Amino acid sequence: MSGGIAVETLSEAEARTELARLANEIARANTAYHGEDTPEISDADYDALKARNAAIEAAFPHLKRSDSPSEQVGASPSEAFSKVTHEQRMLSLGNAFDAGEVAEFNARIRRYLGLGPESPLTYTAEPKIDGLSLSLRYENGRLTQAATRGDGQVGENVTANARTIDDIPEEISDAPALLEVRGEVYMSHADFAALNVRQTERGAKTFANPRNAAAGSLRQLDATITQARPLRFFAYAWGALSEPLAETQMGAIDRLEALGFVTNDMTRLCDGPKEMLAHYETIEQARATLGYDIDGVVYKVNDLGLQARLGYRSTTPRWAVAHKFPAELAWTRLEAIDIQVGRTGALSPVARLAPVTVGGVVVSNATLHNEDYIAGRDNKGMEIRDGKDIRVGDWVQVYRAGDVIPKIADVDLAKRPEGAAPYEFPTVCPECGSDATREEGDAIRRCTGGLICPAQAVEKLKHFVSRAAFDIEGLGAKQVEMFHADDILPVREPADIFTLRARDAKNVAKLAKRDGWGETSAGNLFQAIEDKREIEMSRLLFALGIRHVGEIAAQDLARHYQSWEALTFALDTARPAALARRAADEAADAERRAAAEDGRRARVSEARARAFAARDVPDESAAVWDDLIAADGIGPVMALSLSDAFANPDERGAIERLVAELRSILPPETRADDSPVAGKTVVFTGSLEKMTRAEAKARAESLGAKVSGSVSAKTDLLVAGPGAGSKAVKAAELGIETIDEDGWLSLIGDA
Ligand code: IVH
């Protein structure tokens, strides 16, 4: 079927025709295999088609088709779907695990809004559907786009697939001109079971649970496959809108229902935590009979005006929380403990388990956190599992809650095999043999090998190319591992990625000639790398994989310093103060210990001050350090980690080599740059009457302003309420514009 004339003797026209035929045949085979029909050809024939296609493409690289089957090998469908940038971010939810946390959620909201215990505050409570979220865009009543959540900002375009779902109307009437409806795609238990039966009958893979089945069905390249899978949709939220749906959450849900969407009939209004918890119990009791998976109850502030005031944290709304059901449990045998070395050198123990089903999912690994956890202690030295340690051969109770990595809840000592020895945590790195040490107060043992440790280097590189970092298309975890181990074109540090093309050009064994590569794929990779010589500052910072510097912290730092030069200058200047701070922290710890031993009161601040003074820190250094740790979202722990990374000659060398390869480091875009306070430094002082301090700060930041606690020459605006004192005086001295609360509200358009 795939033989044909020897590739070398094909004419260009013949090659073109044959590539078209192969693309067609392979696509058909793919549909038959993954879809509802029985596979039409054997695996061997399928492989032969692919091989023939690859051979022709290698001989005629310029004829490679845009829908080339070779581009689809192993590529997850996610890469094949086009990307959609959400007009409004799709967020996730914070969690609460017990009644106490629900009460705290309510208290937090009341504090934030400045509501006394007497003021009424209503919530909706509804089941949390265990599926995948989807955003449907309706323009003038017609469905124009459907997108998955993706990373919240950019999702995948699955419009054709969504159109095949019965619960999703193609057209709606009396709707706002623009309406994005958000909700959950899921599969019922009955449909899931029937699908797995059909899959088994035709030798296709079965799904572990309804959620995986729903995700796998929605994210199909071929919409006819989605159509044949019985997916459903509950609407529970919205994104961009041309006009409000209602004044309350409940009103909006009713409106969505009136527009023809399916909403969940277990949604209730509750007057406070007591009623919320009562409805939680009702839903939990109904769980087994609902016919679809839910994993908790979502509470949302009902008043949409209050929702708007409450706003969002970085990835979750302040006005909603998911109250999760308790985890599911199962017993199994611990077969081995493996140690994985992460990018910061952390040695993470992983439990290898005899496979067991926990709440419908087969679990064979669980996290063991660290050596104390294995020994039966938490990070404060308190007993966990009644102090029972975990040994290889033990019977252990595994639990999982929602998406979280399974954990070990308990050990059955009665079943402990005779002679089972306590687990000895390695003190050398299993990957590079360097010492693995534990800093005081840190539960984690870390490899000290730095970049000489291959595991750390590879993990750092994987992080570097990951989606939220440099996001280089065609350079994923697999390729990074390959290049890292490569002798001809090695990539050992990030800068090496950017010299790949030049090194390849000088080499005889060209990348394009290697197995699994061709002119096109090598060319595409080099181009994708070139494109990233221009990168946002926050991505660059996050990509460095410095401990404690996550995505949000990197954004905060970029916003604070605005340029790479300003950041590096600040870190270098602040170094003496950073070291003094560490010395002070250590002196404080030592004083605490000594005092505890002698049974006297610890003189912590004196010890700190003495250690700090002994360092003789220049004023400028202290000032820059203070500014760094006062920056929004940055604290001393992160600042010290950042300072250490930039002061370490090896790491600094790698950073400088990387930066030398980049063309430009882009400053952060000011959020909401049409706002009059974007980029301005604002200070609030005195008492505020229409909002709480926390609310004022969050609102200002969401408009792109920087909120500072003290007035200095850098302050642009002081918002002074009644009782403003020294700050107002200082602002007047410095000639800084000062307005009152009403002035502020009208400035930002909230009056
Ligand atoms: S509200 C801004 N309501 O849970 C918050 N989410 O863990 C919008 N989910 O990403 C979400 N049922 O995919 C909301 N009744 C419900 C939900 C629900 C399921 C999902 C949703 C979200 C995830 C967060």
Give a yes or no: residue 675 inside a domain: no
Are 160 and 277 within one domain?
Answer: yes
> Can you give the pLDDT at residue 406?
85
Q: Which residues pair with 298 in a beta bridge?
A: 126, 322
Do 129 and 264 share a domain, yes or no? Answer: yes
Q: Which helix (H) or strand (E) holds 525?
A: helix 519-531
Cα(153)–Cα(131) distance, integer angstroms: 19
For residues 103 and 151, membership in a common domain is answered with yes
Atom of ligand 1 nearest to the CA of 90: 2
By most ligand atoms within 8 Å of CB, the mutation choice from 128, 130, 324 for ligand 1 is 128
* pLDDT digit string, tens, across residues 290-337: 999 999 999 999 999 999 999 988 778 999 999 998 877 889 999 999
Residue type at position 442: D
Residues 294 and 240 in one domain: yes
pLDDT averaged over the chain?
89
Q: Give the mean pLDDT of 723-751.
A: 88
Cα of 138 vs centre of ligand 1, distance in Å, is 20
Residue 674 has pLDDT above 90, yes or no: no
Cβ neighbours of residue 710 closer than 8 Å, sequence gap 6 or more: 630, 683, 727
In this structure, the answer to whether residues 643 and 686 fall within a common structural domain is no
CA dihedral 483, 488, 493, 496 (to 10 degrees): -100
User: How confident is the model at residue 672, as a pLDDT?
Assistant: 52
- Please give the Cα distance from 389 to 334 (Å, whole number): 12
Q: How far is the CA of 156 from the centre of ligand 1 (A)?
A: 18
Closest residue to atom 12 of ligand 1, CA basis: 128
Pocket test for ligand 1, best of 90, 105, 129 (most atoms within 8 A of CB): 129
Residues 6+ away with beta carbon under 8 Å from 492: 451, 457, 484
> Do 122 and 90 share a structural domain?
yes
708 close to 715: Cβ distance less than 8 angstroms = yes
The number of beta carbons lying within 10 Å of the beta carbon of residue 139 is 15
91 lines ligand 1 (CB under 6 A): yes
CA distance 739 to 727: 13
Q: Considering the domain boundaries, does residue 184 fall inside one?
A: yes
Are 559 and 637 members of one domain?
yes
Residue 14 has pLDDT above 80, yes or no: yes
One-letter amino acid for residue 462 of the chain? K
Angle between helices 564-598 and 604-614 (to 10 degrees): 130
* 182 within 8 A of 134, measured Cβ to Cβ: yes
Higher pLDDT, 420 or 687: 420
Ligand 1 contact via 579 beta carbon (within 6 Å) = no
How many other CB atoms sit within 10 Å of the CB of residue 373?
A: 20
Pairing status of strand 178-186 against strand 132-139: antiparallel
- Percentage of residues in the chain with pLDDT exceeding 90? 63
Q: What is the dihedral of CA 416, 421, 426, 430, to 10 degrees?
A: -70
For residues 48 and 99, state if they share a domain: no
CB distance 294 to ligand 1 below 6 Å: no
Closest CA to 409 of 388, 380, 381: 388
Does the Cβ of 237 fall within 6 Å of ligand 1?
yes
| Alpha carbon distance, N-terminus to C-terminus of the chain | 74
* Residue 292 structure tokens: 């679809």
**266 contacts: CB under 8 Å, gap ≥ 6:** 126, 127, 282, 283, 286
One domain, residues 63 and 90:
no
Within a domain: 49:
yes
* Phi/psi-derived region of residue 633, left when phi > 0, alpha when psi is between -120 and 50, beta in every other case: left
Query: In the chain, what are the helix, strand and coil shares in percent, each to the nearest 5?
Result: 45, 20, 35
Q: How far apart are CA 448 and CA 431, in angstroms?
A: 11
Tokens 């909230």 label which residue? 750
Please report, for residues 53, 139, 142, 219, the alpha-carbon distance to residue 155 in angstroms, rounded to integers and kept in the order given: 31, 19, 20, 11
Q: Which two tokens stand for residue 433?
A: 């043999």
Q: Which of 639, 666, 693 is where one domain is finished?
A: 666
Does residue 375 surpass a pLDDT of 60? yes
133 Cα: distance to centroid of ligand 1 (angstroms): 7
Closest CA to 71 of 59, 87, 54, 85: 54
Same domain, 185 and 303: yes
Is the predicted pLDDT of residue 77 greater than 50, yes or no? Answer: no
268 assigned to some structural domain: yes
pLDDT in tens, 393-403: 999 999 876 55
Check if the beta carbon of residue 528 is closer than 8 Å to that of residue 472.
yes
Confidence category of residue 76, pLDDT binned at 50, 70, 90: very low
Is 128 known to be catalytic?
yes
Between the CA of 92 and the centroid of ligand 1 the distance, in Å, is 6
Crossing angle (nearest 10°) for helices 12-34 and 43-59: 150
CB atoms within 10 A of CB 259: 19
Q: Ligand 1 pocket test: pick from 86, 93, 249 the residue with the most ligand atoms within 8 Å of its Cβ.
A: 93
pLDDT digits (tens, 9 = 90+) for 103-154: 999 999 999 999 988 999 999 999 999 999 999 999 999 999 999 998 888 8
Band (pLDDT 50/70/90 cuts) for residue 53 is confident
- CATH code for position 164: 3.30.470.30
Taking 90 as the threshold, does the pLDDT of residue 43 lie above it?
no
Q: How many CB atoms lie within 10 A of CB 216?
A: 19
| Residue 423 located in a structural domain | no
Q: Is residue 458 part of a domain?
A: no
What would the pLDDT profile of 562-613 be if each residue is shown by its tens digit? 999 999 999 999 999 999 999 999 999 999 999 999 999 999 999 999 999 9
pLDDT tens, 207-251? 878 888 999 999 888 888 888 899 999 999 999 999 999 999 999
Question: Cβ(236) to ligand 1 under 6 A?
Answer: yes
Whether the Cβ atoms of residue 484 and residue 455 lie closer than 8 Å to each other: no
**Which one of 50, 64, 128, 462 is the catalytic residue?**
128
- As a dihedral over the C-alpha atoms of residue 230, residue 234, residue 239, residue 240, rounded to 10 degrees, the angle is 70
Domain boundary among 288, 318, 348: 318
Q: What one-character DSSP code corresponds to residue 667?
A: P
Tell me the CB-side half-sphere exposure of residue 294, using CA atoms within 13 A: 24
pLDDT digits (tens, 9 = 90+) for 463-481: 999 989 999 999 999 999 9
Separation of CA 128 and ligand 1 centre (Å): 6
Q: Is the pLDDT of residue 266 over 50?
A: yes
* Three-point CA angle 665, 634, 104, nearest 5°: 130
Nearest Cα residue to 636 out of 625, 646, 645, 647? 625
* Bigger pLDDT: 357 vs 179: 179
Is pLDDT at 2 greater than 60 in this prediction? no
CA distance 83 to 67: 17
pLDDT of 28 over the 80 cut: no
CA angle, 478 then 479 then 485, to 5°: 95
Pairing of strands 395-400, 407-411: antiparallel
Task: State percent of the chain over pLDDT 70.
Answer: 94
The enclosing H or E element of 592 equals helix 564-598
The whole-number average pLDDT for the span 532-560 is 93
DSSP H stretches of helix in 235-324? 249-258, 273-286, 304-310
Q: What CATH number did the domain enclosing 719 receive?
A: 3.40.50.10190
- For 43-112, the DSSP string reads HHHHHHHHHHHHHHHHH-GGG--TT-GGGGSS--HHHHSPEEE-SSPPP---EE-SHHHHHHHHHHHHHH
CB contact at 8 A, 706 and 634: no
**Last-in-domain residue among 285, 318, 351:** 318
Q: What is the pLDDT of residue 37?
A: 36
Range of the domain at 635: 538-666
> Is the distance from CB of 296 to CB of 279 less than 8 angstroms?
no
Give the pLDDT band of residue 35 (cuts 50, 70, 90).
Answer: very low
Q: Which CATH number covers residue 389?
A: 2.40.50.140
174 exposed, middle or buried (CB, 10 Å; 0-12, 13-18, 19+)? Answer: exposed
**Contacts (Cβ under 8 Å, ≥6 apart) of 198:** 36
- Whether pLDDT at 72 is above 90: no
Task: Give the Å distance between the CA of 88 and the centre of ligand 1.
Answer: 15
* HEC per residue, 547-583: CCCCHHHHHHHHHHHCCHHHHHHHHHHHHHHHHHHHH
Same domain, 292 and 343: no
String of DSSP letters for 212-260:
HHHHHHHS-SSHHHHHHS--EEEEEEEEEESS-S-SBHHHHHHHHHHTT
Q: From the CB of 93, is ligand 1 less than 6 Å away?
A: yes
Residue 648 maps to a domain: yes
Over residues 493-530, the pLDDT tens digits come to 999 999 999 999 998 889 999 888 999 999 999 999 99
Confidence at residue 48, expressed as pLDDT on a 0 to 100 scale = 74
Q: Which residues contact 532 (CB under 8 A, 6 or more apart)?
A: 470, 471, 472
Give CA–CA dist 314/552, Å, rounded: 7
Q: What are the C-alpha distances in Å from 500 to residues 430, 479, 507?
A: 30, 13, 10
Q: Whose CA is nearest to atom 18 of ligand 1?
A: 128
Q: Are residues 109 and 169 in the same domain?
A: yes
Give the Å distance between the CA of 114 and the centre of ligand 1: 26
Supply the pLDDT for residue 403: 55
The full length of the chain comes to 751
Query: Could you give the number of structural domains in the chain?
Result: 4
Measured from the Cα of 149, ligand 1's closest atom is 10
Q: Is 293 in the pocket of ligand 1 (CB under 6 A)?
A: no
pLDDT of residue 47: 67
Q: For residues 99 and 168, what is the distance between their CA atoms, to the nearest angstrom?
A: 35
Question: Three-class SS of residue 8?
Answer: helix
Distance 748 CA to ligand 1 centre (A): 30
The pLDDT tens digits of the residues spanning 336-371 come to 999 999 998 999 999 999 988 787 677 899 999 999
User: Per residue in 612-671, pLDDT tens?
Assistant: 999 999 999 999 999 999 887 788 999 999 999 999 998 999 999 999 999 999 988 755
For residue 519, which of 530, 504, 532 has the smallest C-alpha distance? 504
Verify whether ligand 1 is closer than 6 Å to residue 125 (CB atom).
no
Residue 461 domain-assigned (yes or no): no
Whether the CB of 129 sits within 6 Å of ligand 1: yes
